[in-house]
Structures are given as structure tokens and as C-alpha cells.
Amino acid sequence: MKLSQILSKVKTNFKIISSADSDLIEIEDIALDSRLVKKNSAFFALSGKAKDGAEFIPSAIANGASVVIAEKGKIKSAQCFLLESENPFAL
């Protein structure tokens, strides 16, 4: 599914941190673990009790993530399409 189609249905606030066109990005999988990311995955970098998923953004990108979703202020790189949200769990 095209990222633009997914974003059109999102009902929470988010900010796009990318110059890429969401109409050109295909999402085939969703991952919460950067080790499970493959080409065309959306990686949710969520904070947990033991680890902060933002630590694994570089690994997710290296593994082929085409989109990274993270909490506001956690994204420091723009190597793929990036979304940040006050509440990424709502996305």
C-alpha cells in the first residue's frame, strides 16, 4: 500500500520530516523490532520499559525501512521517510 494512502486515514497529529514524496513510497510490512525490518517496512521506534526504539533507527534504516515513525524529538536522521508524533502509538 502507498504511504500516502495510509497517511490519509491517520486521525492523529504527526509531522513529516522528509522531502520524499509519500506517493512514491510503498509499505509492505510493519516492524517494532529493527532486526525484523526488511525492504519497504515501516519501523515504529517506540519507547519501552527497557529500551528506547529510537536507538535502533539506524539499524532499521540499514535493514531497509522506507519509513520510520518515532516520538517527537527522537529523530535525528533523514535517510528515509520520517514521521514524528506526540503519540506514535496512535498512528
pTM of the full structure: 0.82
Q: What is the pLDDT of residue 77?
A: 62
Q: What type of residue sits at position 41? A: S
- Which pLDDT tens digit goes with each residue over 35-55? 999 999 999 999 888 999 989
pLDDT band at 79 (very low <50, low <70, confident <90, very high): low
Grid coordinates standing for 19?
Answer: 522531502
pLDDT beyond 90 at 84: no
- Which pLDDT tens digit goes with each residue over 1-40? 998 898 888 888 888 877 678 888 899 999 999 999 999 9
Helix or strand run (H / E) with residue 38: none
pLDDT band at 90 (very low <50, low <70, confident <90, very high): low
Contacts of 38 (CB under 8 A, 6+ apart): 29, 31, 63, 64
